[in-house]
Amino acid sequence: MPSDADSHRPSSRRLPPRRRFVLRLGLCLAALVLLGAVFAAARGQALVRLGAQTEAAARIRALALDSILAKQRAVAAILADDREVIAALGARETGAAVSRKLERVQAETQSTVIYLLDDQGRAISASNFDEPGSFVGQDYSFRDYFRAAMTSGTALQFALGTVSNRPGLYLSHDVRDGSGAIGVVVVKVEFDAVEAAWAASRDRTRVTDMGGTVLLSSRPSERFAPMPASQGDHLSVAVPVEGADWRLVQEVSGAPALETAALTTGGVGLALGLGALGIGQASRARRRAERRQAAERQYRDDLERAVAERTEALSAEMHERRAAERRLAELQADLVQANKLAALGQTAAGVAHEVNQPLATIRVLAETGLDVLGDEGDPEVSGNLATIVRMTSRIAQITTELRNFARKATGEITQVSLAEAVKASLLLTESRRRSGDIPLELAPIDPGLRVMAETVRLEQVLVNLLQNAEEAQGGQPRPWIRLGVEAGDDAVTVTLADNGPGLDPAQAERLFTPFATTKPGGLGLGLVIAREIAREFGGDLRADPPVPGQGAVFRLTLRRAP
């Protein structure tokens, strides 16, 4: 389960913050480059479209001019062939009738003024003959349109009117009779209405002559000045005006193209932004879900760990409780054993006391009987009496032992010199050691070393241990007994080791159980009593577990006197 959890760690898919920053920066730069490209492409397309539209508009305006010029040119040509006109020029007379005709034609064709010049350039009739600024009588011989028409037939001149002071196009056509040019018809056209129409549009429209001088413009102030340079962000298209050596220049602001490009780029940017926002939201949602899953996994893991820990603690607790119960049972068993032993001690003391007297009497009587019979007596009776004496001696041995055990409260536990007690015990057991030729190894004991005990019973314990060690040596080729003393701060341990056959493993288990003995004449009480005494002193008596091929080792611990 933990391995499963590890393989789905959300953090493993998340980039470190530095790399994430670089990635985002890169994406932003890429988006900027893309938007720049979109802007450039959109602007280029918009400019192409704008150029096409502007050219179409310029052509329409040029055509309109063309048609005006063609019409007025036709008017001049028709009047030049008019008989009344020819007649008037031939007579060099100012004829009101011709002037009225010119006035009618002018009104019909929407020119500004129509007039006739004789071969000297003097106006003999004019459509404005009846107006204050009448041209009749004026001399126009200096005008190019007069001279050119007289020599070449027709002429076209854009100029300011000398009388009206208003700009206009002068179209002139010669009038001929059989002898040659006798005069010139002049039609003046003003373009105020056209220019006003142009001015209504946002575009700038200008008409220039071949020299680049502005003749007509949507801004009248620019007239007769050189063509101004086009503005940086403006787009200009030039088309020829067919009827004259003119060029019509249409200039439009590039702003709409920029606006279109900006709008397109904005749209793409918005789409990109929304896309990025969507992706960001989706990835945030994914990370949130991953975090939630990780938290849930963590919670589950924690829960499982807590359950495992609690289970472990509970089983440890149960284990401890079982151990405590076992200890309690052992203690209870020890208590029962101690009670048994106490009862046994009391019984033993009572029995010993009660039995001793009659036993002594039986023994004395049997011995007396033996003496009375003497050597001549019935051997069977003598044998029986001898058996009675042996058996009473044996019973006396048991009662002595039991009395010794029951001699419990004979003395108080006091500070006892361990060296003295050991010395006395060795003395009591010396004869057997000597007869068995058993050497004793004894390290010197500090004479000042004192233990909490009662002298006689401490000696009883030591004698018992020494006797057992001696008895175990029977038939041993190189017997020895080693007595060592080890003094700690609070306790003193007396170790008694021998070179005998060691403890029988079956015997080792019930060593301190009453009447457990491996000796033919043994009672099995010595070690039980010795341990009881040691415990009464606040110490203990233990045997080392048996080791095959090695003798027995007994350890008597005693409290060290303060």
| Residues binding ligand ADP (CB under 6 A) | 464, 468-469, 472, 498, 500, 503-504, 507, 511, 517-519, 522-527, 552
Nearer to ligand ADP, 75 or 527 (CB): 527
Nearer to ligand ADP, 84 or 471 (CB): 471
Nearer to ligand ADP, 374 or 521 (CB): 521
Alpha carbon of 101 to those of 88, 118, 127, 139, 191: distances in Å?
Answer: 12, 17, 8, 21, 23
Nearer to ligand ADP, 295 or 506 (CB): 506
Instruction: Give min distance, CB of 429 to ligand ADP, in A.
Output: 13
Tokens representing residue 447 in the block = 């004479």
**Rounded Cα distance, 542 and 535, in Å:** 11
Burial 245-265 (b: 16+ CB within 10 A, else e): ebbbbbbbbbebbbebbbebb
Instruction: Give min distance, CB of 511 to ligand ADP, in A.
Output: 6
Instruction: Give min distance, CB of 399 to ligand ADP, in A.
Output: 15
Tokens representing residue 551 in the block = 């003798």
Instruction: Give min distance, CB of 385 to ligand ADP, in A.
Output: 28
Angle at 251 between CA 245 and CA 256, to 5 degrees: 155
Tokens representing residue 455 in the block = 């002298």
Instruction: Give min distance, CB of 309 to ligand ADP, in A.
Output: 50
What is the length of the chain? 562
Nearer to ligand ADP, 154 or 517 (CB): 517
Contact assessment for residue 399 and residue 351, using Cβ atoms and an 8 Å cutoff: yes
At 479 the three-state DSSP class reads coil
Signed CA dihedral, 416, 421, 424, 425: sign only: positive
Signed CA dihedral, 192, 197, 201, 205: sign only: negative
Nearer to ligand ADP, 89 or 511 (CB): 511
Nearer to ligand ADP, 352 or 527 (CB): 527
Contact assessment for residue 175 and residue 189, using Cβ atoms and an 8 Å cutoff: no
Nearer to ligand ADP, 256 or 514 (CB): 514
Nearer to ligand ADP, 260 or 476 (CB): 476
Instruction: Give min distance, CB of 443 to ligand ADP, in A.
Output: 19
Instruction: Give min distance, CB of 352 to ligand ADP, in A.
Output: 17
Q: How many CB atoms lie within 10 A of CB 412?
A: 6
At 432 the three-state DSSP class reads helix
Instruction: Give min distance, CB of 530 to ligand ADP, in A.
Output: 7
Instruction: Give min distance, CB of 329 to ligand ADP, in A.
Output: 25
Instruction: Give min distance, CB of 438 to ligand ADP, in A.
Output: 12
Instruction: Give min distance, CB of 428 to ligand ADP, in A.
Output: 15
**Rounded Cα distance, 245 and 225, in Å:** 17
Q: What is the DSSP letter of 245?
A: T
Which residues contact residue 174 at a Cβ distance below 8 angstroms, ignoring those fewer than 6 apart? 80, 149, 150, 153, 154, 181, 183, 184
Residue bearing tokens 């206009």: 168
Instruction: Give min distance, CB of 546 to ligand ADP, in A.
Output: 9
Q: Is 13 left (phi over 0), alpha (psi -120 to 50) or beta?
A: alpha
Nearer to ligand ADP, 202 or 519 (CB): 519
Nearer to ligand ADP, 175 or 472 (CB): 472
Angle at 452 between CA 502 and CA 460, to 5 degrees: 45
Contact assessment for residue 149 and residue 122, using Cβ atoms and an 8 Å cutoff: no
Q: Which residues, listed in sequence order, are joined to residue 558 by a DSSP beta bridge?
A: 492
Q: How many CB atoms lie within 10 A of CB 108?
A: 9
Instruction: Give min distance, CB of 464 to ligand ADP, in A.
Output: 6
At 182 the three-state DSSP class reads strand
Nearer to ligand ADP, 146 or 554 (CB): 554
Helices 455-472 and 418-436, interaxial angle, to 10°? Answer: 30
Nearer to ligand ADP, 315 or 518 (CB): 518
**Rounded Cα distance, 125 and 122, in Å:** 9
Nearer to ligand ADP, 408 or 512 (CB): 512
Contact assessment for residue 168 and residue 190, using Cβ atoms and an 8 Å cutoff: yes
Contact assessment for residue 5 and residue 297, using Cβ atoms and an 8 Å cutoff: yes
The amino acid that residue 256 corresponds to is P
Instruction: Give min distance, CB of 481 to ligand ADP, in A.
Output: 9
At 534 the three-state DSSP class reads helix
Signed CA dihedral, 335, 336, 340, 341: sign only: negative
